[in-house]
Amino acid sequence: MNEQVIDSTEDVTEEVDVEGLLFDPLEESTGAAVVGEYDLVSTPNDFNVLTIKNFLDTGAVKVPRYQRNFVWDRARASKLIESLILGLPVPQVFLYEEARNSFQIIDGQQRLMSIYFFLVGRFPRKTAKPRLREFWGQQGGIPPHILSDDGLFESFRLHLPSPQNGPSNPLHGLKYDTLEERQIQLGMRTLRNIVIKQVNPDGRGAVYEIFNRLNTTGVNLTAQEIRMSLADSAFMEQIVEFNMDPVWRQLFGVATPDPRLRDIEVLLRAFAMADESDEYRPSMVRFLDRYADRTRLFKQEQIRPRRMALERFLEDTRHVDRAAFLISERFSVPIFEAIFAAYAQECEKGGQPTLRDDVLARLKVDPEFVDATETHTTDTKNILQRVAVARAYLRGEK
């Protein structure tokens, strides 16, 4: 296999332009699907600050481990705390009710985490922010031994400097423990929470639409970041684990995982095509949303064969030239997804698919395959065509 791989720096603030290294023309379908009507129940609740912290500590309100990083700096978080102390209006938070006493944040993560960090008296250092996903507990807040690590967190003192020649802000430099009488005042302040539950149709399609529409300012969430937030599951965890595999990283062409989760999306898309290519209808975004939501219910006996198929596939790719998966020196998502889907489908039927340089070289120049992988790649016809052609080659029929 070609050993060339694009490396990235160890500095977590530096990112490789992953999108620029991929061939994946999605312009013809992204966001094109018609959205149906939903029957929702929306309930307003005014939770006070202490209740919000308790919800986060106990896991009643979940901060999905793969939601966007905490990006607020101490100055912005301090302004929120100041607003609460002074009784000024604060934007409402949206929660999705998954089950009784179990809520997922749709919009408001930065505000809720700022409150949490102030009440525990610790603020994440810049280099620790991308790692918060690792620290946030499955059942609740960040463990005390992590919060006490001075290499990861610093004391959270309010950063409210005064304007030039202006009077000093009496809250500047205070911690939660030094607020004195204002501590009770802050604890009793309320934040409006809108709790949403989908009644009809079955499923959770509405929450994806709501999440996408609410998160339209600042640093937009990618479609995969939204999926990881709303469809976190044992299967997603398995994909995250695969995303660290050195053979996959070599094949994908970037040494370290993408902070915006594009590499994880490529793996999810490959599994979705292997499982449901016959059911695909545009848009690709909605197709992957629905598939991700269904995988939340996967048991280990459903995950196991999928894991084995990818393990076997990656082992076979060690012996072939990576160029088979490239178009114009870029990793081709349509080619990869078609070959993997064909491979996994053959494995499921008990076949012995073959990954060899000569087979992949002939597949890559097959006119039908080329037509289906280089233009209008998310049209239903082209997806079915390229998976079918790939299966014929892997079965030795061409």
- Per-residue pLDDT band at 122 (split at 50, 70, 90): very high
Q: Where are the domains positioned within the chain?
A: 19-33+218-394, 39-200
Please state the separation of Cα 351 from the chain's center in Å.
33
Task: Give residue 263's pLDDT.
Answer: 95
- The structure tokens listed for 242 are 């695969």
pLDDT at 266 over 80: yes
- Count of C-beta atoms within a 10 Å radius of residue 6: 15
Q: Where does residue 108 rank: exposed (0-12), middle (13-18), buried (19+ CB within 10 A)?
A: buried
Mind listing the pLDDT tens digit for each residue in 206-260? 777 777 676 544 456 678 887 887 777 889 989 999 999 999 999 999 998 887 8
Tell me if 303 sits within 8 A of 296, measured CB to CB: no
User: How far apart, in Å, do the first and last CA atoms of the chain sit?
Assistant: 23
Does a cis peptide bond (omega within 30 degrees of 0) precede residue 367?
A: no
For the segment 255-281, the average pLDDT, to the nearest whole number, is 93
Cα-based angle 313, 317, 319 (whole degrees, multiple of 5): 135
Contacts of 217 (CB under 8 A, 6+ apart): none
- The structure tokens listed for 295 are 């995988």
- The structure tokens listed for 288 are 């992957």
- Count of C-beta atoms within a 10 Å radius of residue 37: 8
Q: Over pLDDT 90: what percentage of the chain?
A: 61
Tell me if 53 sits within 8 A of 116, measured CB to CB: yes
SS3 36: coil
pLDDT at 12 over 50: no
